[in-house]
Amino acid sequence: MRGSLSFLMRTATFPASFNQLDNIREYVNIFTKEAGMDDPGRCAVEMAADEACSNIIEHAYTGYSSGVIECTIEFDDDSFTIVLHDHGSPFDLTSVPLPDLSEELENRKIGGLGVFLIRELMDDVKYENRGQMGNFLTLKRKISRIK
């Protein structure tokens, strides 16, 4: 049963606003469970999806109130992949500089923390701007990864 259905894609579209983050996380959680990921893996994917969508909502759709984020999930026995598609301004989070995590309290910057988390929690992060087609952010994590 699992063999023949092991490669499936599921897509859902969400309004690009912060109040949708809970729905997006819930959506992702359904499939990390179905994919048989362990709890740390599921938490990692949930957080990465949240951080990535938060960035899209904040940066790609500044000023727009009617943007959407299309979330496509695919997984097989090896890895779990989320593709986030939006039509906002290009925001390549793979080019955001990483924050200095050793800075003392007053100098600590929050900017870049979300991006850092996405890169730590996922095994592969790819951003692509396809012009009129919009932006595609692909997040991939190995199901067997330990922490």
- Helices and strands: H and E segment counts in the chain: 3, 5
Cα–Cα distance between 24 and 143 in angstroms, integer? 20
Residue 99 beta carbon to another protein: minimum distance, rounded to whole angstroms = 8
CA dist 42 and 123 (Å) reads 13
Check residue 114 for interaction with another protein (CB under 8 A).
Answer: yes
Q: Edge-to-edge strand order for the sheet containing 68-75?
A: 8-15, 68-75, 79-86, 135-142, 124-129
Candidate residues 12, 21, 68, 143; the one interacting with another protein per rule CB under 8 A: 21
Q: Of the listed pieces 61-69, 73-81, 109-117, 124-132, which binds another protein according to CB under 8 A? A: 109-117
Cα pseudo-dihedral 87, 17, 57, 42, rounded to 10: -110
> Which span sits near another protein by CB under 8 A: 61-69, 78-86, 88-96, 113-121?
113-121
Least gap, CB of 6 to another protein (angstroms): 28
Query: Could you list the residues that contact another protein (CB under 8 A)?
Result: 18-19, 21-22, 25, 39-40, 43, 46-47, 50-51, 54, 57-58, 101-102, 105-106, 108, 110, 113-114, 116-117, 120
